[in-house]
């Protein structure tokens, strides 16, 4: 009995030990399973994370990134490199590769037409946004539905800027598209070039120059870039820089019509009229009916003083277009400078202003005629016309120079002084402007200012004949007669005939009696018979003595020398009536 009881206790104790042991094993197994599950989850997370693309998927994502990037860079060298790298058996091309090849070909064809496309192209459906944007651009339409999924979808619509049918209202759309594209790929010369091209279209030549320069520095052999950069430099009056750039054009491109035209413009801007005429002739050989270059040839002939042939070309031009502003201004110049017909020149420039009221060249020429004749052109005098020019172009000093001449003719010394004072600089003043300012100062009794300027400019350039006259004029008006006479006598023997004539004329004011004054005036006319100042001085002397016939004799010569001076004409008319 006791033995069976003992055996049962042992069994129960063993069972308890077994259960405890089994529980520990289960706990360890469960913990291990949890750890394994966590590790498996972490591994899966890592694998999933690796599968997330680091860059947004685009239509061209399956193509080598360097190939796509070279297409985005967009200049001939990078496009050719991209097409070399993508080359394979015809059957191996994927659809998106064919589209990329088509895009590269169209960029080359539209932006860089001087370049030869050496790779095989494929017919691609316009169903893609890329081809649709290109086709719309060719038609002069900025494709707004192209999207913005990648660089090319953003920039391709802006190719419309190269279309002859592009609307000015699309300029800003093109600029924004090219700018956004540049943010995606700062290495894109295509985007830089497009931005520069848009700025050029908008006549913002300063910004155009900045962008073209960046493209040109790395792509100096690309014809279109060279021509574009030189164009804006010419527009900014940097003709010397433009000429240097054009010299880099390769010999194989020298006969290209656009090269010939650009070289003609550059040579003309640099006043190399012989070279300009040669280039113009070559352009007209290829395009005999090019009116722009027919007119440019006339301009060259005018600059060479070959007015007879220039007039013939102007007549030929007028038969096809007699309202062009450049033609009208050039015609007026010929009428004034060659025919000496101020009436005809005035009528022509008034026609120009009626058709083109804010044209700077026409306004400047109108101011010139008004200043010369002291008469209104289109109802306004030179100073009034100059004010309008300054409103349109605040940096235009030429307008102020004509306004100044007009005010001097009107003897409006106060207003003339305000203009000349602003035009005078500390150095590099034109001798004519110095003479005008000194004259104005003397008329306003600002003698110290007149003498200081005349002396300073004369000392800086003692050989200039205008500055010699200016200094002698100031000396004779400011210094004592003896001092002025001494200075004149010290330089008169070594002077040219022109200066001798002026010095005799100026000395006539310093002589103690009329006989010596008349002797100096006769000596002045012997040196230069067309010295209108000496002739007018003789008129004044004889008019004061009531010797009207002699006075008229000299005054008529002044009128012949200065036929456009209305004040002289009035004096002559009054004298004629007095005699009659």
Contacts of 94 by beta carbon, 8 Å cutoff, 6+ apart: 62, 63
pTM above 0.75, yes or no: no
The tokens for 567 are 């004040």
Hey, which residues does 380 pair with through a beta bridge? 377
Model pLDDT, residue 213: 96
C-alpha span between 337 and 77 (Å, rounded)? 52
- Maximum distance among all Cα pairs of the chain, rounded to whole angstroms: 183
The tokens for 536 are 């007018």
For the cut 60, the answer to whether the pLDDT of residue 32 exceeds it is no
Q: What is the pLDDT of residues 511-548, one digit of tens each?
A: 999 999 999 999 999 999 999 999 999 999 999 999 99
The mean pLDDT of 140-154, rounded to a whole number, is 87
- State percent of the chain over pLDDT 90: 67
Where does the pLDDT of residue 251 fall: very low under 50, low under 70, confident under 90, or very high at 90 and above? low
Model pLDDT, residue 20: 45
C-alpha span between 22 and 436 (Å, rounded)? 121
Range in 203-217, 242-256, 405-419, 551-565 with the lowest mean pLDDT: 242-256
**Which SS3 state, helix, strand or coil, does residue 437 take?**
helix
For the cut 90, the answer to whether the pLDDT of residue 71 exceeds it is yes
For the cut 90, the answer to whether the pLDDT of residue 254 exceeds it is no
For the cut 60, the answer to whether the pLDDT of residue 227 exceeds it is yes
Per DSSP, the residues of 333-386 read HHHHHTS--HHHHHHHHHHHHHHSTT-HHHHHHHHHHHHHHTS-BTTB-HHHHH
For the cut 50, the answer to whether the pLDDT of residue 414 exceeds it is yes
Model pLDDT, residue 64: 92
Model pLDDT, residue 29: 46
The mean pLDDT of 54-75, rounded to a whole number, is 86
For the cut 60, the answer to whether the pLDDT of residue 172 exceeds it is yes
Where does the pLDDT of residue 426 fall: very low under 50, low under 70, confident under 90, or very high at 90 and above? low
- State percent of the chain over pLDDT 70: 89
The tokens for 236 are 């900014």
Token pair 């009696």 in the structure block, residue: 513
Q: What is the pLDDT of residues 498-521, one digit of tens each?
A: 999 999 999 999 999 999 999 999
Model pLDDT, residue 394: 81
452 torsion bin: left (phi>0), alpha (psi -120 to 50), beta (else): alpha
Is residue 192 a contact partner of residue 78, using CB atoms and an 8 Å limit? no
């Amino acid at each position: 009995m006791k033995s069976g009881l003992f055996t049962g206790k042992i069994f129960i104790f063993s069972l308890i030990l077994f259960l405890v042991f089994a529980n520990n094993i289960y706990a360890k197994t469960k913990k291990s399973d949890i750890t394994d599950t966590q590790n498996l989850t972490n591994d899966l997370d890592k694998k999933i994370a690796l599968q997330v693309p680091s860059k947004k998927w685009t239509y061209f994502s399956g193509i080598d990134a360097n190939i796509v990037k070279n297409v985005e860079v967009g200049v001939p060298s990078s496009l050719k490199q991209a097409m070399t790298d993508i080359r394979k058996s015809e059957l191996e091309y994927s659809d998106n590769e064919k589209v990329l090849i088509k895009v590269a070909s169209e960029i080359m064809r539209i932006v860089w037409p001087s370049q030869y496309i050496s790779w095989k192209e494929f017919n691609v459906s316009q169903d893609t946004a890329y081809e649709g944007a290109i086709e719309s651009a060719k038609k002069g339409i900025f494709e707004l539905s192209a999207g913005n999924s990648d660089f090319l979808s953003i920039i391709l619509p802006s190719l419309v800027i190269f279309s002859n049918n592009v609307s000015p209202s699309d300029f800003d759309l093109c600029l924004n598209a090219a700018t956004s594209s540049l943010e995606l790929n700062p290495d894109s010369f295509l985007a830089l070039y497009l931005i520069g091209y848009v700025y050029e279209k908008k006549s913002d030549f300063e910004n155009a120059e900045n962008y073209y320069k960046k493209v040109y520095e790395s792509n100096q052999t690309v014809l279109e870039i060279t021509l574009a950069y030189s164009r804006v430099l010419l527009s900014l009056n940097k003709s010397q820089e433009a000429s240097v750039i054009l010299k880099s054009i390769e010999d194989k491109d020298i006969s290209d019509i656009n090269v010939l035209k650009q070289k003609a413009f550059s040579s003309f801007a640099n006043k190399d009229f012989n070279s300009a005429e040669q280039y113009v002739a070559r352009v007209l050989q290829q395009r005999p009916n090019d009116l722009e270059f027919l007119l440019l040839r006339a301009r060259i002939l005018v600059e060479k003083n070959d007015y007879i042939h220039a007039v013939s070309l102007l007549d030929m031009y007028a038969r096809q277009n007699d309202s062009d502003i450049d033609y009208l201004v050039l015609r007026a110049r010929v009428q004034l400078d060659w025919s000496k017909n101020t009436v005809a020149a005035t009528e022509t420039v008034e026609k120009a202003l009626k058709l083109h009221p804010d044209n700077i060249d026409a306004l400047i020429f109108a101011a010139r005629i008004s200043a010369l004749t002291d008469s209104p052109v289109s109802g306004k005098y030179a100073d009034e016309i100059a004010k309008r020019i300054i409103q349109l172009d605040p940096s235009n000093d030429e307008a102020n120079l004509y306004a100044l001449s007009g005010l001097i003719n009107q003897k409006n010394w106060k207003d003339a002084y305000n203009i000349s004072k602003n035009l005078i600089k500390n150095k590099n003043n034109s001798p004519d402007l110095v003479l005008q300012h000194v004259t104005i100062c003397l008329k306003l009794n600002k003698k110290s200012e007149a003498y200081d300027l005349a002396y300073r400019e004369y000392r800086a350039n003692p050989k200039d004949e205008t500055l010699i006259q200016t200094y002698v004029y100031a000396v004779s008006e400011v210094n004592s007669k003896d001092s002025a006479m001494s200075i004149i006598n010290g330089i008169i023997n070594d002077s040219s005939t022109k200066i001798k004539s002026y010095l005799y004329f100026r000395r006539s004011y310093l002589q103690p009696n009329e006989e010596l004054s008349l002797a100096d005036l006769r000596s002045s006319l012997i040196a230069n018979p067309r010295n209108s100042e000496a002739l007018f001085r003789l008129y004044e002397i004889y008019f004061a003595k009531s010797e009207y016939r002699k006075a008229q004799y000299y005054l008529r010569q002044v009128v012949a020398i200065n036929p456009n001076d209305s004040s002289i004409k009035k004096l002559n008319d009054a004298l004629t009536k007095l005699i009659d």
